[in-house]
A and B are shown apart, each in its own frame.
Chain A
């Protein structure tokens, strides 16, 4: 119960913090509109109007991933910079439960961009918003947020120890867009890419959302998002225990 309160209280706090950040909101609302425009023009040029919603959802998910990556990578560095990282570590709450709300909040605020892309697509490009399984979509979006938020948690654990690891997060943006099928279907990519896509939550998140919106069987993809989230949590828990002790040993908590 106490752990739930720590996560829920932290989640509300960090969603509020991010929502008040102009920079974060700019990347959440403006970038998806740019991605969506480019994707729509490409699809139109290809003469396949039937895939407009498919494209819109992919473009929206690109924004969610960027936000998660930026939020998770920046979270630790930003806490370090503003002098709160040490204070957070100094609390008796397990640091995993302190960190999780930050990455979940990043993924949640990133989900704004999904909504933004759909509204933008509807208004500017007339994308039809006929949903095949509206109920499944209501479940798929939180499942996707949880999958991405926990993947962000796994990434963020390394940033506790390595001060400049968040620079890596920039490198992960485009490859993940490509590998997880946000830009083009994974089936169009080389065969060896497929196993990589299976262990990345955005693959199942975008599938769950597309299958909910366009038709198909979204529940297995929703389930995969949650299974991967559990796997990421176990790995993050292990890494964080090791990295937190190493950070106390190497004195990297307060260095900005």
Chain B
């Protein structure tokens, strides 16, 4: 039996526009998402901002009602049996919010222990173990307002595990955390799976998904556009080559000309330290360096290199080429 099961989940938000003549507008955030997560699996939901990751997770953790479709966690319906689902799941989201800043980590953890009805005889040991797990032992009596971003995030994880849930939902847990802190968090997440927990992780960091997830579903515009192991997703672009072009004064028309070069499959732009890096995917064996440089005529170009595709390139190909899925 699948631990998490989503079948044709849809969620539409109704917003309104105008001041005097208000008009209701329906926005489809999730458009029929289906997937299953097995016991002890670390499943990644990968997608750009606004793709529908958080909406999907919020339906699964009972905070949002689906417009249609069904979802079950540990065999329990998230709409009909929310309290039973909540008892068995943990939820952690990324960012600064979600903690009582004026109080200590210990106060925060004790409060949530009461809300999750953790028996008093278990609380002390559970909290000590979790503080140890997330590396906050010795800092638990300090006010949270003095914590770094990474420490807050680790406290979030401890809070999400306070009732020893079987299933843990992690919504972009490393967002905004420095590289060292993010690496420690990833190690903590990996240890959850080692303890036998089932984890659903949303992220838009490819290397994070690549290093942690057993399986990944790529979500874009509210739909799952690909699903498989990191290796299977990478294999989807194995027949491509990626050309990286460093550019210093890149303009929109330059990017448009690159897109128009025959043989170009997809183009994305990364900003790195004040410069742009164009990532151009094309079929393997097709030599495009000269036509690409010609298309960028008038733009200051630095380093140019061709390389093998990564999971990130697979993701760009899937997300960038999903317009037909709309």
Query: Is B43 part of the binding interface, using a Cβ–Cβ cutoff of 8 Å?
Result: no
User: Cβ of A91 and Cβ of B112 under 8 Å apart?
Assistant: yes
Q: A83-B98, A93-B117 are contacts. A9–B111 as well, Cβ < 8 Å? A: yes
Query: Is B20 part of the binding interface, using a Cβ–Cβ cutoff of 8 Å?
Result: no
User: Cβ of B83 and Cβ of A82 under 8 Å apart?
Assistant: no
User: Cβ of A92 and Cβ of B111 under 8 Å apart?
Assistant: no
What's the Cα separation between A112 and B63 when bound, in Å?
36
Partner of B98, one of A2, A20, A87, A91: A87
Query: Is A10 part of the binding interface, using a Cβ–Cβ cutoff of 8 Å?
Result: yes
Q: Which listed segment binds A: B101-109, B183-191, B235-243, B283-291? A: B101-109
A236-256 vs B, Cβ < 8 Å mask (1 yes, 0 no): 000000000100111101100
B288-311 vs A, Cβ < 8 Å mask (1 yes, 0 no): 000000000000000000000000
Q: For chain A residues 203-256, which have a beta carbon within 8 Å of chain B?
A: 245, 248-251, 253-254
What's the Cα separation between A92 and B76 when bound, in Å?
14
User: Cβ of B13 and Cβ of A90 under 8 Å apart?
Assistant: no
Q: How large, as a class, is the contact surface on chain B?
A: 20 to 34
In the assembled complex, the CB of B313 is this many whole angstroms from the nearest CB of chain A, namely 33
A141-185 vs B, Cβ < 8 Å mask (1 yes, 0 no): 000000000000000000000000000000000000000000000
Query: Smallest CB-CB separation from A253: which chain B residue?
Result: B63
User: Cβ of B91 and Cβ of A90 under 8 Å apart?
Assistant: yes
What's the Cα separation between A175 and B184 when bound, in Å?
55
Query: Smallest CB-CB separation from B98: which chain A residue?
Result: A83
Query: Smallest CB-CB separation from A246: which chain B residue?
Result: B65
Query: Is B257 part of the binding interface, using a Cβ–Cβ cutoff of 8 Å?
Result: no
Chain A residues with Cβ below 8 Å from B97 are 82-84
Q: Which residues of A contact B (CB under 8 A)?
A: 2, 5-6, 9-10, 13, 16-17, 20-21, 82-84, 86-93, 98, 245, 248-251, 253-254
B25-46 vs A, Cβ < 8 Å mask (1 yes, 0 no): 0000000000000000000000
User: Cβ of A5 and Cβ of B63 under 8 Å apart?
Assistant: no
Partner of A86, one of B63, B107, B110: B63
Q: A87-B91, A98-B115 are contacts. A248–B100 as well, Cβ < 8 Å? A: no
In the assembled complex, the CB of B10 is this many whole angstroms from the nearest CB of chain A, namely 13
User: Cβ of B64 and Cβ of A248 under 8 Å apart?
Assistant: yes
Q: A82-B98, A248-B62 are contacts. A20–B117 as well, Cβ < 8 Å? A: no
Chain B residues with Cβ below 8 Å from A253 are 63
Chain A residues with Cβ below 8 Å from B115 are 6, 9-10, 88, 91-93, 98
